[in-house]
């Protein structure tokens, strides 16, 4: 079974790519189950909004502290071994937490520690996963491989994991975490079975330090004008998305006037848009002539969607705009990852991708704070309109970088 890629290459599902895809999709299912269950457990342990925000912040902080380190380690070690070892460690951690819940030993501090530990391990896993893909498929097939990987994860998380979490929580508060632990362990077995001969690591120069290696990755990202522009656009985009996610419940219910039931349907439209975007991302890339050129209209489309979200107070308009926003967002994500993989030497790929991801992560919490403050002094829809201007600027940044490249 094959998948046709942009340049005529084919990605074979059998072998390494199929197992990597299966492991990634299974893990995303488990993550979705845990991410729905975790705030429910937290809300049952405390009524303090501040303590709930601490648990949320604990999930962001490791990327800022260890993101660059994770990229350097991903370039130093056997990526296959690093990934399955991390998944085993995450499976054991979540299984221990599930056992604690079942025995009645849950505490809000334990949730924060769990979120921090899992994201710390994720900094190594995610950069290794990004770096390992070019070793499993031809580089010209990367757009197709990334699109199918992200689409599978979106399907598993949005349409399978999130609904399953509600059923699992009803059956027992520890059950969702036990399921998540099991998905990590199965994913670890799949990754461990990847072919050794297809995955190589580059020997480090004598006397090389982690600090010097991290610096080399950051410099490589900065000196590549297109990757630098994509990183800045990613930062601006996450600034908007972080702010939008923080206020979305107010925008949909207070501004657009949706009921609680309609609120869920509007959110589902966003998830469906992401899946659809994954299915057409490579086609858009072929149509416009390249990854960076696909990002420009996608970011511009997101700016237009934000104008609708902030300017039209109706649930149907919000749902339609969020669906298109999700399509465009997936197109951007697929091509950001692809151009990074295609333009970066294998021995630097972990460090460059982690630097790019760390820059982007900064935008989400910053956007939540900025947009929240703006909504306090204006109206709840105004941040969406401000976000449209930011997204338009991101589109111009990529356009300028692509022209100058």
pLDDT tens-digit readout, 334-387 = 999 999 998 998 888 889 988 998 888 888 888 888 888 888 888 889 999 999
Q: Could you tell me which residue, 394 or 72, shows the higher pLDDT?
A: 394
Q: Could you tell me which residue, 402 or 38, shows the higher pLDDT?
A: 402
- Residue 204: is its pLDDT beyond 80? no
For the segment(s) 215-404, the CATH number from 1.20.1250.20, 2.60.15.10, 3.40.50.300, 1.25.40.10 is 1.20.1250.20
Mean pLDDT computed over every residue of the chain: 85
Q: CB count, 10 Å around CB of 126?
A: 22
Same fold, 2-203 and 215-404: yes
Look at 142-146, 237-241, 299-303, 368-372 and tell me which has the smallest mean pLDDT. 368-372
The domain limits of the chain are: 2-203, 215-404
Lookup: tokens for 14:
């059998």
| pLDDT confidence of residue 8 | 43
pTM of the model: 0.78
Look at 52-66, 76-90, 94-108, 315-329 and tell me which has the smallest mean pLDDT. 52-66
Predicted confidence band of residue 1 (pLDDT cuts 50, 70, 90):
very low
| pLDDT confidence of residue 4 | 36
- What whole-number distance in Å separates Cα of residue 371 and Cα of residue 376? 9
Q: Does domain 2-203 have CATH number 3.40.350.10?
A: no
| pLDDT confidence of residue 382 | 93
Residue 184 contacts residue 91 (beta carbons within 8 Å): yes
- Residue 391: is its pLDDT beyond 90? yes
Separation in Å, CA 237 to CA 43, 75, 388: 30, 27, 10
């Amino acid at each position: 079974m094959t998948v046709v890629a942009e340049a005529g290459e084919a990605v074979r599902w059998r072998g390494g790519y199929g197992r990597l895809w299966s492991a990634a999709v299974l893990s995303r299912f488990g993550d979705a189950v845990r991410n729905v269950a975790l705030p429910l457990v937290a809300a049952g342990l405390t009524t303090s909004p501040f303590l709930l925000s601490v648990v949320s912040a604990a999930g962001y902080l490791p990327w800022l502290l260890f993101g660059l380190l994770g990229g350097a380690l991903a370039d130093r070690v056997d990526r296959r071994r690093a990934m399955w070892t991390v998944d085993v460690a995450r499976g054991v951690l979540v299984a221990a937490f599930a056992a604690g819940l079942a025995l009645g030993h849950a505490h809000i501090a334990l949730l924060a520690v769990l979120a921090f530990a899992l994201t710390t391990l994720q900094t190594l896993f995610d950069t290794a996963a990004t770096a390992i893909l070019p070793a499993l498929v031809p580089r010209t097939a990367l757009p197709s491989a990334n699109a199918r990987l992200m689409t599978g994860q979106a399907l598993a998380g949005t349409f399978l994991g999130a609904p399953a979490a509600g059923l699992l929580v009803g059956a027992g508060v520890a059950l969702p975490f036990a399921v998540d632990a099991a998905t990590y362990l199965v994913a670890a077995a799949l990754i461990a079975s990847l072919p050794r001969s297809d995955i190589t690591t580059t020997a480090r120069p004598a006397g090389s330090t982690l600090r010097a290696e991290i610096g080399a990755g950051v410099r490589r990202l900065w000196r590549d004008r297109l990757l630098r522009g994509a990183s800045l656009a990613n930062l601006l985009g996450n600034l908007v998305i972080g702010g939008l996610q923080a206020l979305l419940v107010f925008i949909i219910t207070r501004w657009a006037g949706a009921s609680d039931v309609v609120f869920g349907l509007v959110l589902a439209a966003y998830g469906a848009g992401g899946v659809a975007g994954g299915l057409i991302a490579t086609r858009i890339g072929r149509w416009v002539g390249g990854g960076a050129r696909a990002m420009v209209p996608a970011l511009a489309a997101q700016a237009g969607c934000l104008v609708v979200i902030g300017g039209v107070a109706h649930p149907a308009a919000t749902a339609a705009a969020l669906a298109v926003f999700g399509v465009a967002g997936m197109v951007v994500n697929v091509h950001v990852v692809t151009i990074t993989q295609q333009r970066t030497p294998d021995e630097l790929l972990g460090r460059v991708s982690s630097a790019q991801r760390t820059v982007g992560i900064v935008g989400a919490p910053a956007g939540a704070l900025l947009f929240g403050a703006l909504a306090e002094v204006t109206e709840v829809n105004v941040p969406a309109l401000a976000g449209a201007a930011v997204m338009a600027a991101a589109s111009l940044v990529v356009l300028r970088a692509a022209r100058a490249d």
